[in-house]
Structure 1
Amino acid sequence: MSNIDETPLEPLGASGLVFMASGQGSQKPGMGADLLDIPEVARTFACASEVLGRDVAALVRDASPEELADTRNAQIAIAALSIGTGWALMARGVVPDALLGFSLGQISAMVLGDMLTEEAAFALIAERSRLMGEAADANPGAMSALLKITLPEAEALCAEAAEGEVLVPANLNGGGQIVIAGTPAAVVRAEEAWAAQKGRFSRLATSGGFHSPLMASAQEPFAAYLAGVAFRESAVPVIGNVHAAPLTAAGARDELVAHLVSPVQFEASVAKLQAAGARMFAEVGFGGVLANLVKRIDRTAPRAAVQDRSSFDALVEEFGKE
């Protein structure tokens, strides 16, 4: 049964600009290196470093691919780059009419929507990544992107290949791409069954079966942690991954806890934003994964991946206000 809230969004502002905050998996050594000297980006990295007691900018510049791929490092580095880039764009008059994050990026989007302070967000991300890592160690899992598949097909495939183990659609990305998550053996069975139908798949380099029941053991301690975190109302819609609907201060905790085991409703979120007047989807972060997913959903949708100085300057030129 779908979790999607079918309530339409209020019409977006005149520019129709949506910031999309990158998710885990897009990290790469040296990412955003030529953005780190922008004052707003530098301040965000300094904040992350102070909260965590380590130099996060050095992690981005100097870490090996293996070190940066560690969940605890990747999540902080990606979030710092997304948040800092978002603040820097806003300081130059590039102000979004809505915000959308992907998985980890949902927390970055909450910061840019002023629902959560940077300090609280970095501490929250550190705790979230720790709990997700513990759940992945206790309940090993894997994730695989199935291509040219519909949701009913993916659900039927998961039901058939599960054989009593966990196996579910986890990221509903759109354009015929659905990521499944489950136990390693169940994911292999699904991949083999899809290949037997001439389907293509791509195994994700993740350390667990995220957005699936394999993360359930993280929910209770994460809820206990979130009870001490303060949330505010956002000035613009921050679209949540669980229901593809705007987050509220009152509902943010429940959403973040459910988010651990619920599919990411990316395609539904993009469709809802387009119906409300979205005219540009600008990914802030690194890798361009979300911009490419928007292209899969609608090849005509204007999109941008703001991940280096030239793409940053181009968006300021197009949307900035003196």
Structure 2
Amino acid sequence: MLDETPLAPLGPAGLVFMASGQGSQKPGMGADLLDIPEVANVFACASDVLGRDVAALVRDASPEELNDTRNAQIAIAALSVGMGRALEARGIVPDALLGFSLGQVSAMVLGGMLAEEDAFALIAERSRLMGEAADANPGVMSALLKITLPEAEALCAQCAEDEVLVPANLNGGGQIVIAGTPAAVTRAEEAWAASKGRFSRLATSGAFHSPLMAPAQAPFADYLAQVEFREPVVPVIGNVHAAPLDVAGAREELVAHLVSPVQFEASVAKLQAVGAKMFAEVGFGGVLANLVKRIDRSAPRAAIQDRPSFDAFVEEFGKE
């Protein structure tokens, strides 16, 4: 459920960092950024925490290996946090942070709510629990295009047939991702195609942000009880309510997040209302920058995902 409380006005730059979510991964992503010191340091931190070479994962993993939830989440988060740290080191500091799904944890790191070491351990546990839930309750996700939320809700109700099928990512611009059992999602895709709608199956290994992830909630809550959170130094907008996160609600948000839809469109709209002037995606794939374009074609946006795009952004917005 959305929190209708308005946000506080952003700083004069109106810069929003957006941290990429799972599904944007691709072998070799960010490989040409690994020699940037801040990026290298973050990957080294992730490798130390996990006892494995995370940089090798993004350089060398096969698509099948990288798509596994347990690998995709770590690789994407390391890249987002590393790029965010590198931009900050060059004087480009965000006025607000917005992550997408997994990216919410990356945003919490960049917002000062989580230490990097704690975040990578948290992501490892989160991905393990989600992977176990996905193994026990197989599911898939599909992006439906040119659809409204009422239409998506009606389609899910029509095609569920007593199986799990729900809107999972409210992306805006007529795009809504549904999640559920493979058979139910296939029925919905076929029904939407029959009405001349288009869809695209996502490269995820489970039905995230749906009730199929419910088995992960209790053990994740137990884990989060031992994690230290701090108050953010800049606003971090949560996915569940499209509202700023704080220490008091951080754990509850992250647990609910597993089975709740991502309120991306509402989050972008609320940030625009308080002075967002640039939405810069740190991560890979440009998915979030493209979603911002769908929501508002006039909104300034950037996808910072490789060395050329990083250097161009630093040249335009960096400070000596």
Question: TM-score normalised to the size of structure 2?
Answer: 0.99
Partners in 2 of 1:55 and 1:182 — Cα distance?
Answer: 33
Q: Indicate the larger mover: 119-128 or 201-210.
A: 201-210
Q: 2:294 aligns to what? A: 296
Partners in 2 of 1:143 and 1:307 — Cα distance?
Answer: 24
Q: Indicate the larger mover: 129-138 or 182-191.
A: 182-191
Letter in 1 for 2:143: A
1:272 is aligned, of 270, 273, 278, to 270
Q: 2:111 aligns to what? A: 113
Q: 2:96 aligns to what? A: 98
Partners in 2 of 1:136 and 1:68 — Cα distance?
Answer: 16
- Indicate yes or no: 2:254 matched with 1:253: no
Give 1:72 deviation, angstroms. Answer: 1.0
Partners in 2 of 1:63 and 1:200 — Cα distance?
Answer: 31
Give unpaired runs (5+ residues) of structure 2. none
Q: Indicate the larger mover: 82-91 or 188-197.
A: 188-197
Letter in 2 for 1:39: P
Q: 1:184 aligns to what? A: 182
Q: Contact 2:16–2:276 at 8 Å: present in 1 too?
A: yes
Partners in 2 of 1:203 and 1:128 — Cα distance?
Answer: 23
2:69 is aligned, of 67, 71, 86, to 71
Give 1:207 deviation, angstroms. Answer: 1.2
CA offsets per residue over residues 125-162 of structure 1, 9 Å max, x none?
A: 00000000111111111111111000001011111111
The count of residues paired between Structure 1 and Structure 2 equals 320
- Indicate yes or no: 2:17 matched with 1:6: no
Q: 1:228 aligns to what? A: 226
Give unpaired runs (5+ residues) of structure 1. none
Partners in 1 of 2:2 and 2:319 — Cα distance?
Answer: 35
Question: TM-score normalised to the size of structure 1?
Answer: 0.98
Q: 2:309 aligns to what? A: 311
Residue identity (%) = 87
Q: 1:287 aligns to what? A: 285
1:38 is aligned, of 26, 36, 60, to 36
Give 1:46 deviation, angstroms. Answer: 0.4
Partners in 1 of 2:114 and 2:38 — Cα distance?
Answer: 17
Give 1:273 deviation, angstroms. Answer: 0.5
Task: Describe the SS at the equivalent of 1:19.
Answer: strand
Task: Describe the SS at the equivalent of 2:247.
Answer: coil
Q: 2:198 aligns to what? A: 200
Q: Contact 2:67–2:205 at 8 Å: present in 1 too?
A: no
Structure 1 residue ranges, 4+ long, deviating more than 4 angstroms after superposition: none
